[in-house]
Chains A and B, each alone.
Chain A
Amino acid sequence: MKITILYGTETGNAEMLAEDIQSEIEADHEVDLSNLEDFAPGDFDPECFYLLVCSTYGDGDLPASAQPFADAMEADKPDLSAIHFAIFGLGDSEYDETFNHGPKKLAELMIAHGAQQVGERVAHDASGSDMAEDLAFPWAEAVIADVSEKLGEAA
């Protein structure tokens, strides 16, 4: 399957996780990796499954590298109805009121433009004891299986 991993980050944790996910799945899939700040809404390809990895900053805001993408989405209003994506969030439960609001906002933005979310949004907690990859690898496997079934493709 063609998969593109897009990450939104501020201090680099989401980038590191995105790279880890790429290494984990690239034996079985054709995987591209891109920072959201280098990705335009016009780049979405219906042939491709998108794995979004995004953190949260400020007061429940998108991280810096996701901001230009969000602005471009608002401006371009692309039709993403043929696009499938899944999303994994990074946050910190110390910020309890806005825990993982960055990825939540990003998912809402995708859905608002018609994109179809696959699986649940899973959240890593920087104050918790789990390593991000221990949550993200099973998540990636599950959403890839899901989307394969949906699109009637072999994983």
Chain B
Amino acid sequence: MSGKIAIVGAGPSGCYLAQALLKKAPDLQVDLIDQLPVPYGLVRYGVAADHQGTKGVARQFARVFERQGARFFGNVSIGRDVTLEDLRAAYDAVVLAAGLSSDRKLGVPGDDLPGVFGAGRLTRALFEHPEAEDLPDLGAHPVIVGNGNVAIDLLRLLAKAPEELDGSDLGEGPSRWLAQSGIETITITGRSPAVRAKFDAVMVKELAKLSDVRIEVVDAGESDEPAEVKTVEALSAIHGHWTGARLITFRFGLTPKAIEGEGRAQTVRFDTETGEELIPCTSVLTAIGFEAAPGLPRDALISGATDAEAGRLAPGLFAAGWFRRGPRGTIPENRADAQALAAVILDDLSADPARVGGAVFDGLDQVVDYSGWCRIDAAETEAAPEGRCRSKLATRETMLGVAGARETTK
């Protein structure tokens, strides 16, 4: 089967989709477009720097370009550099796999006070996303609001001693920031009781390896439900873990009601089962989900979709991954999703040879192709200092400089 397919977003869902499409129909032209000069989305900028094993899926994604013939068009933002209309006219099918990168806000009074930071904003800064804001001062007593895996990632990174980051790809600036954070206590709060916390038990178990903390779990609860038992066991197992002075406290059943303070977050006011509780803090880190970034009209597209469940937005227009499903699900779910969507797309596809495909990007400046990414990758790996597996290029300019460099250093 022939045809031209554009996938907007080269994160895991885009890459798995290209993999699945080309497995089923090797003659397709599949182009992956990303606003960043580098591929792999949250595998690079979300999956924690100290979880390198999870990033191993990038080897599969490299194959999609190296062996399956997909092309990479990096540093191209759809909606800004090329309109969605023009893209749709150029390809037989367009798939939006652009993720969801804006932090969902708490939606309570004070949630925009200085000192309140979203998990996406912080992880982007920690993992040196080129559009990240600066790493802020969190003070000695940050409070994390949220009970998903991202909240645990943040907690773990903030709690780690410098040597526990050996083997990671955490950059020099962020590493220094962590080492000098001055954090004395971290309180992590969830709305639900412990048994219904969303994080995976293994994520909690991992905290038992921290070498410089003291962990207290207030009210891990009890349950007979197999799914819940694991969480309770994991929480009970880390309760009392004591290897250092930095105090980590798990609190449950706390629904944020307001963030208060003079010119800066100083207290979180919670509703509890029995009334109200105030927790003093120096900053509030929210990890309660993500929503669409401006650029693509996601809400309108999803609400007007012909069959959002199957990924069909409109004739020749599809959605995948977090962009379709919302900010839920790990990397494997995107794989399953992509395989199902590939079948839907191939079913619908009718190829028109008159479509121009990748030529739609011809007039653009500084498009990064796959070999450009390989140069960035090689430069980053070569520059890795002692104790790190990579040293990321942190700005778009340096990336573009290296990607455009003529000599192929491999």
Least CB distance from B378 to A in Å reads 16
Check B202–A11 contact: CB distance below 8 A. Answer: no
Task: Determine whether A44 belongs to the interface, using a CB cutoff of 8 Å to chain B.
Answer: no
Check A94–B51 contact: CB distance below 8 A. Answer: yes
Check A13–B56 contact: CB distance below 8 A. Answer: yes
The docked-state distance in angstroms from the alpha carbon of A13 to that of B53 is 11
Interface residues of B in 15-65 (CB under 8 A from A): 16, 19, 51-54, 56-57, 59-60, 63
Count class of interface residues, chain B: 20 to 34
Check B53–A11 contact: CB distance below 8 A. Answer: no
Contact of B57 among A11, A92, A127 (CB under 8 A): A11
The docked-state distance in angstroms from the alpha carbon of A126 to that of B57 is 10
Task: Determine whether A80 belongs to the interface, using a CB cutoff of 8 Å to chain B.
Answer: no
Q: Residues of A contacting B53 with CB < 8 Å?
A: 92, 94, 125-127
Q: Residues of A contacting B230 with CB < 8 Å?
A: 59
Check B335–A58 contact: CB distance below 8 A. Answer: no
Task: Determine whether A145 belongs to the interface, using a CB cutoff of 8 Å to chain B.
Answer: no
The docked-state distance in angstroms from the alpha carbon of A64 to that of B333 is 10
Check B52–A12 contact: CB distance below 8 A. Answer: no
Task: Determine whether B332 belongs to the interface, using a CB cutoff of 8 Å to chain A.
Answer: yes
Q: Residues of A contacting B335 with CB < 8 Å?
A: 10-12
Check B332–A16 contact: CB distance below 8 A. Answer: no
Least CB distance from A125 to B in Å reads 8
Task: Determine whether B165 belongs to the interface, using a CB cutoff of 8 Å to chain A.
Answer: no
Check A16–B56 contact: CB distance below 8 A. Answer: no
Check B202–A95 contact: CB distance below 8 A. Answer: yes
Q: Residues of B contacting A57 with CB < 8 Å?
A: 332
Check B332–A11 contact: CB distance below 8 A. Answer: yes
Check A10–B332 contact: CB distance below 8 A. Answer: yes
Residue of B nearest to A97 (CB): B205
Residue of B nearest to A129 (CB): B389
Residue-wise, chain B 166-208 has the 8 Å CB interface mask toward A (1 for contact) of 0100000000000000000000000000000000111001100
Task: Determine whether B331 belongs to the interface, using a CB cutoff of 8 Å to chain A.
Answer: yes
Q: Is the interface of A mostly helix, strand, loop or mixed?
A: loop
With contacts A16-B60, A94-B53 taken as known, whether A59 is within 8 angstroms of B332 at the C-beta atoms is no
Check A13–B52 contact: CB distance below 8 A. Answer: no
The docked-state distance in angstroms from the alpha carbon of A16 to that of B57 is 10
Q: Residues of A contacting B59 with CB < 8 Å?
A: 13, 16
Q: Residues of B contacting A13 with CB < 8 Å?
A: 56-57, 59-60
Q: Residues of B contacting A64 with CB < 8 Å?
A: 332, 336
Residue of A nearest to B19 (CB): A12
Least CB distance from B230 to A in Å reads 7
Q: By CB atoms of chain B within 10 A, which of A13, A95, A125, A127 has the most? A: A127
Residue-wise, chain A 16-36 has the 8 Å CB interface mask toward B (1 for contact) of 100000000000000000000
Q: By CB atoms of chain A within 10 A, which of B54, B331, B332, B336 has the most? A: B332
Residue of B nearest to A131 (CB): B59
The docked-state distance in angstroms from the alpha carbon of A94 to that of B332 is 19
The docked-state distance in angstroms from the alpha carbon of A16 to that of B19 is 11
Q: Residues of B contacting A127 with CB < 8 Å?
A: 52-53, 167
Residues on A facing B (Cβ under 8 Å): 10-13, 16, 57-59, 64, 92, 94-95, 97, 125-127
Residues on B facing A (Cβ under 8 Å): 16, 19, 51-54, 56-57, 59-60, 63, 167, 200-202, 205-206, 230, 331-332, 335-336
* 20 A-B pairs in the complex with CB atoms less than 8 angstroms apart: A11-B331, A12-B16, A12-B335, A13-B57, A13-B59, A13-B60, A58-B200, A58-B202, A59-B202, A59-B205, A59-B230, A64-B336, A92-B53, A94-B53, A94-B206, A95-B202, A97-B205, A125-B53, A126-B52, A127-B167
Contacts beyond the supplied A59-B230, A127-B53: 10 A-B pairs with Cβ under 8 Å? A11-B57, A11-B332, A13-B60, A16-B59, A59-B202, A59-B205, A64-B336, A95-B202, A126-B52, A127-B52
10 tightest Cβ-Cβ pairs between the two chains A and B: A126-B53, A92-B53, A10-B332, A127-B53, A126-B56, A11-B332, A59-B202, A11-B57, A16-B60, A12-B60
